[in-house]
Amino acid sequence: ALMMVEIMGHERMLAESRAVGSEPLESLAIAFADRLKRLAGRGVAVYHVGEMRFCLEPAGGNRAQREQFAAETVAALSGPMAFDGRAIELAPMAGLVEFDAGAVGPSDALRMASAALHSGLGRGAALAWHDAALDAAHRRAYRLVREILPALARGEFRLVYQPKLNLRAG
């Protein structure tokens, strides 16, 4: 299993960066990582995978235990956090995915954890599991959008219409 934790969403990070600069946000990320490492426990590696994102293997042997760990971790990391003489209100979110390490590569596991995180964001949930059906629909929609311009350039679209006539009105 993989758990991706995001300190703050991209829009908020951009707003914070415009207000205080990037250096305080880097200090925040370092302080957050230290807190996350302490919560994760000894022997659990915490990886910095994005500006405000970290990944780790959630504690627990089954899905319910992992979800409990993730919920407790997100709750413990929420609220005001002081760093470098500043305080900022945090509302971290987490995405979780269970996968077969032999069948899924590291980059796809990260992608699925990110998809879970974003699906939770869309529902306003602080914690979400990867949903394969939702992920497949998103990937299909993305692929279709990416294929439109090349298909137009190759002339693969054609206009089809069906004239309609109101017999009473002519």
Is 170 a member of any domain?
no
Is 116 a member of any domain?
yes
CA 49 to chain centre: 11
- CATH number of the structural domain spanning residue 52: 3.30.70.270
**Total H helices, total E strands in the chain:** 5, 7
Please give the tally of structural domains in the chain: 1
Residue 144, SS3 per DSSP: helix
Is 8 a member of any domain?
yes
151 vs 146: CA distance, rounded Å: 9
pLDDT in tens, the chain (170 residues): 999 999 988 888 888 888 888 888 888 889 899 999 999 988 888 999 998 999 999 877 899 999 999 999 999 999 888 777 778 888 899 999 998 888 988 899 999 999 999 888 778 889 999 999 988 998 999 999 999 999 999 999 888 888 888 889 98
Degrees to nearest 5, angle at CA 153 with 148 and 156: 70
> What is the domain range of residue 119?
2-131
**Where do the DSSP E strands lie in 52-156?**
53-56, 79-83, 86-90, 93-97, 127-129
